[in-house]
Structure 1
Amino acid sequence: MPERIFNFSAGPATLPPEVLAQASRDLVNYRDLGMSIIEMSHRSKDFIAVTEQAEQLLRELLDIPANYQVLFLQGGASTQFAMIPMNLLGAGKDKKACYLNTGVWAKKAIKEAKLFGEIDVAYSSEAEVYNHVPADGDYQVDDKAEYLYFVSNNTIYGTQFQSFPATHVPLVCDMSSDILSRPFDIRPFGLVFAGAQKNMGPAGVTTVIIREDLLDRAPENLPTMFKYRTHADQGSMFNTPPCFAIYVVGLVLEWLKNLGGLAAIERINKEKAALLYDTIDRLDFYRGHARRDSRSLMNVTFNLPTPELEAKFIQEAAARGMSGLKGHRSVGGCRASIYNAFPREGVEQLVEFMAEFAKNN
């Protein structure tokens, strides 16, 4: 097997080597049962134990109270853009929700939500090319809103909420790209969801954490598959779940617990990000996209003096074993995604290359 490269991709993203090693063994023979983890019945006691262990670890790491349900669903995070208003706006058009437009994924969620009720876009940073997230005083939440929806970390633009909104309505949050990267109090949240492929595991499973009192807001005529209550009542086993993805999520959660939990990974993430931001700020050759008060610990976005130099930078970095540094097509430039499992060594190699490239160009 060739030496592993440093994968700066925004997702699917790098996983801990020990998780990959364990998964490779269980892919052939899971715990000496004589069959692969991907061959097991999802209703067998052995696989039920896998899902229960994953849920227990997630509850422990995030300190999730008993009055929240943990669901492992299919359809990707994008399906949640519709499922949330389907379920939480109750009867529909006479209900209202509040949204913060801080990037492409928030904008997509707003588009879907408008199909099910009145949507108040209380704040938008689109005019500034989504280079920041708002502070609490920058917007007002309507008293009649059923919830306030926001995206905690914006992968494309490299922005992140440093603290979460303080409001009188339940928070609903897309944490696909920074869940488990830092401690937070889940109690102000009505619902948190995250696609696994950035910080939790492989693509294929979306985790939804929902407060139990919100399960009964769905209208009666909502199709069974799209009701959160359906999946809560069946322990995420209403239909065949994404078994392998859930299994790997459990391995990642165990790795994170053994590392010291969310406080420990937050320290590591801050140290990695500081190396990159310090280099960007120190060298006039690079310009960060995100405002300093909104900088992400997960996705560091930056530009070089010209698109030609950016292309050269990406090509030369790839030749040195640093892949996935091309920025999203909607904003261009470069992006280094340094999620939980991304090693500090890779960041150190990148900043060394950045200094050398600036000097030579």
Structure 2
Amino acid sequence: MADTPFAAPTVKPANPNFSSGPCAKRPGWTVEALANALTGRSHRAKPAKARIQQAIDLTRELLEVPADYRIGIVPASDTGAVEMFLWSALGARGVDMLAWESFGAGWVTDVQKQLKLDDVRVIEAAYGDLPDLTQVDFNRDVVFTWNGTTSGVRVPNADWIPADRAGLTICDATSAAFAQKLDFAKLDVVTFSWQKALGGEAAHGILILSPRAVERLETFKPDRPLPKIFRMTKGGKLIEGIFKAETINTVSMICIEDAIDAMNWGKDVGGLAVLQARADANFKVLADWVAKTDWVDFLAKNPATRSNTSVCLSIVDPAITALDADGQAAFAKAIVARLDKLGVGYDFGSYKDAPAGLRIWAGSTIEASDLAALTPWLDWAFAEEKAALKVAA
């Protein structure tokens, strides 16, 4: 395809990393931040356990987790953290599964097809919408994502969750933690991974349990075998070591050091409220651009449910929406590829199972100035690709 004669912007984002996971490192990060990592040491050694405990303590402090909630570092990222609790604790009562994007749908598949529980209700919505939360029965366990990473749709708050519920609320908060207000009093299980809002390294998950969640683990014995990495009790009691730096398996001390660095940065900039405000300010840059741009719109239909981290956008220009699904996907990918080649922005295409479009990470580690620099390039790339499409036709 020959380039068309539109004038390209002159200013590129200083940091072109807009991936929704792993996400951009905190501003100013260099590999020297990992200089004190206890590489080559056993994670069971006293100094290493102290660093692991520091990561847990910083999580409690920065995320404002209640003192009586347990925090553990577990295998296999957010997925591992969610799976540990689903396999260990579901089946004590009926369960309501909420799904409005691919990860929530994945938990539905696990519970229905792998755990094969008998009493499962699925409350779902299409990409861009939130399910009817009034349908949820809190006498049952409830599994949901706080922020739909692949749809850009989030729950606006926890007002829909009663304080006196009988069931447990199990919340996958992986692209919400540190950027959106989590009401822990309404949440019994919270999971996330460092590579999202903290821009940390991958492979490890965080599992946060309320006293009610611990009680479930200690009183319910599932009638299925549990792999070693899922076992959180022994002799009917919680294995407290998991939540006191005695991890189930070997952790990366480089990942631990990186998480500590990211959370110390979060404290230095002002704590949780400032991290949330940074994400809100980043989202506003994109929202202001969308408001004045006729070729793009939010995938999330309701402004109250739009994510301030994984911002999902649809290309709504009539010439593009007239294409079939494959054509629309190819057009969106062409925009991403064009800006990738120029070093303007990386990895901001929509998720593979989501509707065609763009997904731009706007979490706390992103600078608003970089998003402001990105948007003119998006307009330019759209114009270039649309012109090329006409030439090809």
Return the TM-score normalized by structure 1: 0.86
Matches within 5 A, 1:97-246: 97-114=95-112, 115=115, 117-125=117-125, 128=126, 130-134=127-131, 136-137=133-134, 139-141=135-137, 143=139, 145=140, 147-164=141-158, 165-167=160-162, 168=165, 169-200=167-198, 201-211=200-210, 212-219=214-221, 222-229=226-233, 232-234=240-242, 235=244, 236-246=246-256
Once the two structures are TM-superposed, the CA of residue 170 in structure 1 deviates from its matched residue by 2.6
Residue type at the aligned position of 1:87: S
Q: Give the Å deviation of 1:358.
A: 5.7
Equivalent residue for 1:277?
A: 287
Given candidates 312, 325, 334, the residue that maps to 1:301 is: 312
Q: Distance in 2 between matches of 1:254 and 1:320?
A: 29
Residue 60 of structure 1 pairs with residue 61 of structure 2: yes
Is the 2:82–2:191 contact (alpha carbons within 8 Å) kept by the matching residues of 1? no
- The answer as to whether partners of 2:173 and 2:191 remain within 8 angstroms in 1 is yes
| Structure 1 residue runs without a partner (length 5+) | 31-35
Paired with 1:353 and 1:19, the residues of 2 have a C-alpha distance of 25
Shift in CA distance, 119/11, structure 1 to aligned 2, threshold 3 Å: farther
- Which residue in the other structure is 2:345 paired with? 322
1:166 partner letter: I
Q: Which 4+ stretches in 1 moved above 6 angstroms?
A: none
Contact preservation (8 Å) 2:278, 2:363: no
Aligned to 1:78: 79
Larger Rg: 2
Q: What is the deviation of 1:81?
A: 4.3
The 2-side partners of 1:268 and 1:239 are apart by 35
Report if the CA contact (8 A) 1:6-1:322 is conserved: yes
Give the residue type in structure 1 aligned to 2:339. A
Equivalent pair of 2:78/2:174 in contact (CA under 8 Å): yes
Q: Is residue 267 of structure 2 the alignment partner of residue 263 of structure 1? A: no
CA separation of 1:55 and 1:80: change in aligned 2, threshold 3 A: closer
1:264 and 1:43, CA in 2 relative to 1: closer, same or farther beyond 3 A?
A: same
Give the 3 Å change call, closer, same or farther, for CA 279–62 of structure 1 in structure 2: same
Question: How big is each residue's C-alpha offset from its partner over 1:175-216, in whole Å with a ceiling of 9 and x where there is no partner?
Answer: 111211133321221110112211231101100001232331
Deviation, structure 1 residue 274: 1.1
Q: Secondary structure at the match of 1:66?
A: coil
CA distance in 2, matches of 1:22, 1:214: 43
Deviation at 1:82, TM superposition (A): 3.2
Give the conservation status (yes or no) of the 8 Å contact 1:101–1:121: no
Q: Structure 1 pair 324/194, CA: closer, same or farther in 2 (3 Å)?
A: same
Q: Distance in 2 between matches of 1:109 and 1:158?
A: 18
Asked if 2 retains the 8 angstrom alpha-carbon contact of 1:170 and 1:188, the reply is no
Look up the SS of the partner of 1:131 in the other structure. Answer: coil
5+ residue gaps, structure 2, are 1-12, 321-327, 387-393
Alpha-carbon offset, residue 158 of structure 1: 1.2
Query: 3-state SS of the aligned residue for 1:335?
Result: strand
Q: Residues 333 and 68 from structure 1, CA distance in 2 versus in 1: closer, same or farther, beyond 3 angstroms? A: same
Is the CA contact (8 Å cut-off) linking 1:88 and 1:217 kept in structure 2?
Answer: no
**1:215 partner SS:** helix
Q: TM-score, normalised by structure 2?
A: 0.79
Aligned equivalents of 2:29, 2:100: Cα separation in 1: 33
Partner of 2:389: none
Tell me, yes or no, if the aligned pair for 2:78 and 2:191 is still in contact at 8 Å: yes
CA–CA distance in structure 2, aligned partners of residues 63 and 52 of structure 1: 16
Please list the CA deviations of residues 264-321 of structure 1 after superposition, one character each: whole Å capped at 9, or x if unmatched: 1111111111111221122111122111232110111123232354344223322142
Q: CA offset at residue 72 of structure 1?
A: 0.2
User: 1:64 offset after TM fit, Å?
Assistant: 1.9
Secondary structure class of the residue paired with 1:323: coil
3-state SS, counterpart of residue 50 of structure 2: helix
When structure 1 is superposed on structure 2, of 80-89 and 148-157 the one drifting more is 80-89
Can you list the C-alpha shifts for 1:30-79, whole angstroms capped at 9, x where unaligned? 3xxxxx52212112222112112111111112222232111001122223
Contact 1:102 1:133 in 2 (8 A): yes
Conserved 8 A contact 2:23-2:195: yes
Q: Which SS does the other structure have where 1:340 is aligned?
A: coil
- 1:23 is displaced (CA, Å) by 3.0
